[in-house]
């Protein structure tokens, strides 16, 4: 049942996800708007590309934290302890998705956000930490080998439903269905990256300040 309380928590989750970590860090500490350089996205990947690891790592963790926080807003529901595990999980999922949407379309910065992968990772950690850890390890391996954050994100997102349904043998139909949605969203948000990867034009992440990158919108 959708109540006023649920609607308000969904709004809170959206506003949490919409916090522009990359823009805030860039403007506050570097006097640079990362949206004006690199890929033009307000996300962790572009922050690494434009400002380096000193800015990229904090932005990455803040974006992950947004997803984790939103999932746990389910604990704020007045009768959360009385909810069935299935309904509690569905509320967690709804709040997490709201945070991802907030990151993609942040009201604070004219609905111009990032790709939502780090916030999605936070959501996955909140829903199923073990599967999220497996996916993160896949990301790390692919990134270290290829130096492409985008490729690591795409492959890790594809690994998530495999881990959920075939390694962990999840019997949670909502989680299984959502796990299939994860790589779909990743492919949609990474369309331009995929095109550049195919052409051999995707930028490898160099851990150093590089604000002169040509904008590749």
pLDDT bucket at 6, cuts 50 / 70 / 90: very high
Q: Can you give the residue ranges of every domain in the chain? A: 1-127, 129-203
Q: What is the pLDDT of residues 60-109, one digit of tens each?
A: 999 999 999 999 999 999 888 888 988 999 999 999 999 999 999 999 99
pLDDT tens digits along 131-175: 999 999 999 999 999 989 889 999 999 999 999 999 999 999 999
The pLDDT of residue 206 is: 63
The upper half-sphere exposure of residue 206, i.e. CA atoms within 13 Å in the direction of its Cβ, equals: 10
CA-based nearest residue to 93, from 19, 176, 164: 176
Which single residue is written with the structure tokens 């522009």? 20
């Amino acid at each position: 049942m959708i109540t006023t309380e649920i609607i308000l928590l969904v709004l809170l989750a959206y506003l949490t996800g919409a916090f522009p970590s990359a823009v805030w860090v860039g403007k506050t500490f570097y006097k640079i708007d990362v949206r004006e350089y690199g890929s033009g996205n307000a996300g962790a990947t572009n922050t690494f590309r434009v400002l380096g690891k000193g800015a990229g790592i904090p932005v990455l963790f803040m974006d992950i934290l947004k997803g984790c926080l939103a999932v746990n807003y389910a604990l704020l529901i007045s009768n959360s302890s009385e909810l069935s595990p299935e309904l509690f999980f569905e509320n967690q999922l709804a709040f997490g998705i709201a945070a991802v949407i907030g990151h993609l379309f942040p009201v604070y910065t004219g609905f111009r956000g990032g790709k939502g992968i780090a916030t999605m990772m936070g959501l996955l950690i909140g829903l199923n930490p073990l599967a999220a850890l497996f996916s993160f390890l896949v990301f790390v391996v692919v990134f270290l080998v290829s130096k492409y954050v985008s490729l690591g994100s795409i492959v890790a997102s594809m690994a998530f439903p495999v881990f959920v349904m075939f390694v962990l043998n999840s019997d949670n139909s909502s989680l299984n269905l959502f796990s299939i949605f994860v790589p779909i969203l990743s492919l949609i948000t990474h369309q331009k990256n995929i095109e550049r990867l195919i052409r051999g034009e995707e930028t490898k992440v160099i851990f150093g300040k590089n604000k002169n990158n040509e904008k590749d919108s």
